[in-house]
Chains A and B, each alone.
Chain A
Amino acid sequence: MNARTITSRFALTSGLLLGMMTQLPTTAQETDRWTPDRTAWGDPNLQGVYTFSTLTPLERPEALGNKATYTAEELAEAELQSIIPATAAETPTAEGSNDDNLRGNEYNAFWASNEKGRLAERTSLIVDPPNGRLPPLTERGQQIYDERVAELATRQVGEEPNIYTLYDTWEDHPVYTRCVARSMPRVQQGYNHGLQVLQTPGYVVIYYESQHDTRVIPLDGRPHIDSSIRQWNGDARGHWEGDTLVVDWQNFTDKQFFMSIPPAIGLRNISLPQGNIRLVERLTKVDENTIDYEVTVHDPTTWTQPWTLIVPWRADDPSYQSPVDLYEFGCHEGNYRMMENSLRGSRVLRETYTEAE
């Protein structure tokens, strides 16, 4: 970071604080007027290829208080687009590495497909609570989190700055590294953040490039599958409220990890079991190229109150323009060597450090 950048960042921060005093109309109010076209059978048409990659951090920097959006003046600051990623680094985006040794060497901006050239006016993805930050964990939630952090510590050897996380079995790897599943909902992925929305009478289908996961969402009012059937990607039921698709999403398995590769010490990360979580998604097309993807998280056993985030799904990103841009995600099919190297490497490291003691 050179002196000029530091100076501009101070200038920008001051600008942001001043901007907090100005009340702006919310994004939702401005865009509610736009109306999507219809499918031949009369449903609002949400179809297209989108990316949910974003530079906006999950949680708002505390200094911004209840300020939900940047002002136009703030956005006009030339350095803004470099400030926002710096803020985003406070939140977990480095999915390829939950290992301290790798931090700082995560997948870099080349893999991201951000809103460069568009106004990223929101200061956080979380819109409720109004401070844009996660609500406090319940006692149980905190206990589970602490247990996971402690469990990870038992698998670490070495001293700063060379702490190594060991994987004594494939089950020590996060489920995403094992190519079993990826966190749902999909928010803040470092790469392969494309998806396609398809519609046919009675269904909305969401196909995620990463892990080639397909969610077929029935709209016919049928009940959820039996609560004894727990799935990595849960069970979804949708209906229309005006032009908004509302999806009730539950029946997750506790094996699934919520919005995270767990556990990541040192990151303000969420690494909690998903079994008790019920999500309500609201998908609203707010302009020709954007779906506002809103998710409210309900789990009174984990958080002291429900909370809500909004991620823009963008159809005008050069990386994701059509179904041709969605590549086959052969994860498990190429994972043998990773597993071989990590398990053997862990064993060698453990032997080395045991002998040293």
Chain B
Amino acid sequence: MIGAVSVCLFLMTGTSTAQVSDYQAPRLPGTDNPDLNGVWQVLNTANWDIRPHAAGPSALPDLLGAIGAIPAGLGVVEGNEIPYQPWASDKQRENFEGRLTRPLTREMNETTGDPEAKCYMPGVPRATYLPHPFQIVQTQSQVFIAYEFANAARIIHMDSQPPSPASSWMGWSIGHWEGDTLVVEVTDQTELTWFDRAGNFHSDALRVTERYTPITPNHLQYEALIEDPNVFTRPWTISMPLYRRMEPNAQLLEFKCVEFTELFMYEHLLEPSSD
């Protein structure tokens, strides 16, 4: 029976999470739940492109030289391909071409350019694999995640399933435990966030099911099932390990990036010709 379950898990989750862990995490005091508290961060290049990709030049090689060039990555999408509907593949390429378009009009601001460049809250799952740490704060009854990027944050409602009051940049998170795995259903995100700097995108019908599983004292396996019938032909999954920041004094620092994007976003507003 145990063998059959293992085979079943293997078939369901593909290669990257095939090593089903026997690891038993310490419990959070006062609960039967594994303790996921800590400062965590990925070690991958998914924020450049969640798909497999070779290295490439930066968008501004004349200004930056090799700094800012794209590091290669094996990809975090299971099966390596994102099952876009045909129109959506074109849209992704368009997004990539226009990723650093400055928002010269309101319409451009709402339709064009990588939201990371504008310091907009990143949404889920991108918040997880931005090149910044985040901190899981697990209390006896709740889970909360604070992200360094743009000081984004989200509350994961564990003790009930309240309905979402409004669509939002970080979505509406409802969590529960399946054994030692924290499962979070994220809905009601805006259509304005992207998956990465390559322009991979979704609609406001996005539904993300995240799974956080401790696999060693210092690693969580992260998996996110992506469902969006407006954009994709079928559900698909990304997965990656999360690494504990091991510095004894590890802490989130500020990355309040609004002040870093104001020139990019607003400079044109100073010119009379834009009236």
**Does the CB pair A339–B259 fall under 8 Å?**
no
Given contacts A200-B138, A323-B155, A339-B266, contact A225 B259 (CB under 8 A): no
Q: Is the CB of B265 within 8 A of A336?
A: yes
Would you call B272 an interface residue if the criterion is a C-beta within 8 Å of the partner chain's C-beta atoms? yes
Interface residues on A, range: 35 or more
Q: How many residues of B contact A (CB 8 A)?
A: 49
Contacts of B248 in A (CB 8 A): 222
Contact across chains for A336 and B106 when beta carbons are under 8 A apart: yes
| B248 nearest CB neighbor, chain A only | A222
Also in contact, A205 and B142, with CB within 8 A (given A179-B258, A343-B269): no
Instruction: Judge whether B135 is part of the interface by a CB distance below 8 angstroms.
Output: yes
Mark each residue of chain A from 159 to 195: 1 if its CB lies under 8 Å from any CB of chain B, else 0.
0000000001111000000111100000000000000
Would A211 and B151 count as touching, CB distance under 8 A? yes
- B137-153: which residues lie under 8 A (CB-CB) from chain A? 137-140, 142, 144, 146, 150-153
**A207 and B265 form a contact (CB under 8 A):** no
CA distance A205 to B145 in the complex (A): 11
Q: Please name all residues of chain B whose beta carbon is closer than 8 Å to the beta carbon of A198 when the two chains form the complex.
A: 137, 139, 142, 144
Chain B 151-189 per-residue mask, 1 if CB under 8 angstroms from chain A, else 0: 111010100001001101110000000000000000000
Q: Enumerate chain B residues within 8 angstroms of A348, measured Cβ to Cβ.
A: 275
CB neighbors of B among A307-331 (8 A): 323-324, 326-328, 330
Q: Is A231 an interface residue (CB 8 A)?
A: yes
Q: Which residues in A have their C-beta under 8 angstroms from that of B131?
A: none
Q: Is B30 an interface residue (CB 8 A)?
A: yes
Tell me if A178 and B259 are in contact (CB < 8 A): yes
Q: In the assembled complex, which residues on chain A have CB atoms less than 8 Å from the CB atom of B272? A: 347
CA distance A225 to B252 in the complex (A): 11
In the bound assembly, the distance between CA atoms of A343 and B252 in angstroms comes to: 34
A214 touches B146 (CB 8 A): yes
The listed residue with most B CB atoms (<10 A of its CB), out of A213, A214, A326, A347, is A214
Other-chain contact of A328, B138, B162, B168, B269 (Cβ < 8 Å) = B168
Q: Is B103 positioned at the interface, with any CB of A under 8 Å from its CB?
A: yes
Task: Flag if B269 contacts A214 (CB, 8 Å).
Answer: no
Asked whether A332 lies within 8 Å of B119 as measured between CB atoms, the reply is: yes
- B120 interface residue, CB < 8 Å from A? yes
Residue among B119, B256, B272 with the most chain A CB within 10 A?
B256
CA distance A218 to B135 in the complex (A): 12
The CA-CA distance from A214 to B144 in the complex, in Å, is: 10
Does A216 interact with chain B (Cβ within 8 Å)? yes
Query: For the complex, what is the distance from the CA of A343 to the CA of B41, rounded to whole Å?
Result: 39
Contacts of B162 in A (CB 8 A): 324
The reply to whether A180 and B251 form a contact with Cβ atoms under 8 Å apart is: no
Residues 117-168 of A at the B interface (beta carbon under 8 Å): 168
CB pair B140–A39 under 8 Å, yes or no, is: yes
**Min C-beta distance of B261 to chain A, whole Å:** 8
Tell me the smallest distance from the CB of A78 to a CB of chain B, in Å.
36
Q: Is the CB of A216 within 8 A of B252?
A: yes
**Residues of B at under 8 Å CB distance from A?**
28-31, 37, 103, 106, 109, 119-121, 135, 137-140, 142, 144, 146, 150-153, 155, 157, 162, 165-166, 168-170, 192, 248-249, 251-254, 256, 258-259, 262, 265-266, 269-270, 272, 274-275
The 4 A-B residue pairs whose C-beta atoms are closest, nearest first, are: A40-B30, A214-B146, A328-B168, A40-B29
Q: Which residues of A contact B (CB under 8 A)?
A: 39-41, 47, 168-171, 178-181, 196, 198-201, 203, 205, 207, 211-214, 216, 218, 222, 225, 229, 231-233, 323-324, 326-328, 330, 332-333, 336-337, 339-340, 343-344, 347-348
